[in-house]
Amino acid sequence: MANDGEVKLFGTWASPFAFRVELALKLKGVQYEYIQEDLTDKSSDLLKYNPVHKKVPVLVHRGRPIAESQVILEYIDETWKTDYPLLPQDPYERAMARFWARFIDEKFLSTSWQAACSSSEAEREKLIEEALGYLKVLEEQQHKRLLGGNDTIGFLEICSSFVAYWIIVIQEAAGVDLLTESKFPNLWKWAVEFQGCPAIKQKLPLPEKDRLVAFFSAMIEKIKRYK
């Protein structure tokens, strides 16, 4: 196991972003301490280490904090240069992995979460159509870059875990249809492969679905009440 100074990860069990970081640490073989945060009562350490966003995940290495999951993943890859690289060695493929990871977070993730939490039917329908458009792009352009039947989990696959698992949970919690097998057979096939991937099952099993659905159902209802 790699050990290069004290490593702490502030996260919470339901966070797709904290899951990304913890999976990367597991794949790299980095020893770390996991600090489970209660986001309704954030710890003073979390607020100290991430005073800008006050969110998880935060990785603390040798007393220095790094925030934002994609930034943390790159830091992990550059700091612990094991025989398991997260980003491709080829510069073009590395750039494409970063591009599509940002597309997922900035386009699909953001829009689908807004759709799930919208209390306006008209607004929700508009956001659903927008999110479906982003899934169509991923279906046509990216399924071949993702887990194509092998056991390799890299930067893009880790960032795509929201598509492979969390959106399936969130759409059930919110009562919306986004990623379905009939609409997006390639992405659905990849999501099933991702969930059953030995590298994930051995290193960091996905959170239990029913518990996640209950968590996000309560969160969505709370957000709607305050809108």
pLDDT digits 0-9 by tens, 179-226: 999 999 999 998 998 898 888 888 888 999 999 999 999 999 999 988
**Residue 227 confidence (pLDDT) above 80:** no
Give the pair of three-digit tokens for residue 217. 């159902």
CA 73 to chain centre: 11
Least confident of 46-60, 162-176, 188-202: 188-202
Q: What is the pLDDT of residue 148?
A: 46
Smallest CA-to-CA distance from 15 within 87, 135, 113, 120 is with: 113
Q: What is the pLDDT of residue 141?
A: 84
Q: What is the pTM of this model?
A: 0.93
Percent of the chain predicted with pLDDT > 70: 93
**Residue 149 confidence (pLDDT) above 50:** no
- Give me the mean pLDDT over the 163-170 stretch: 96
Q: What is the pLDDT of residue 4?
A: 59
Rounded mean pLDDT of the chain? 93
- Give me the mean pLDDT over the 36-62 stretch: 96
- 5: DSSP letter: S
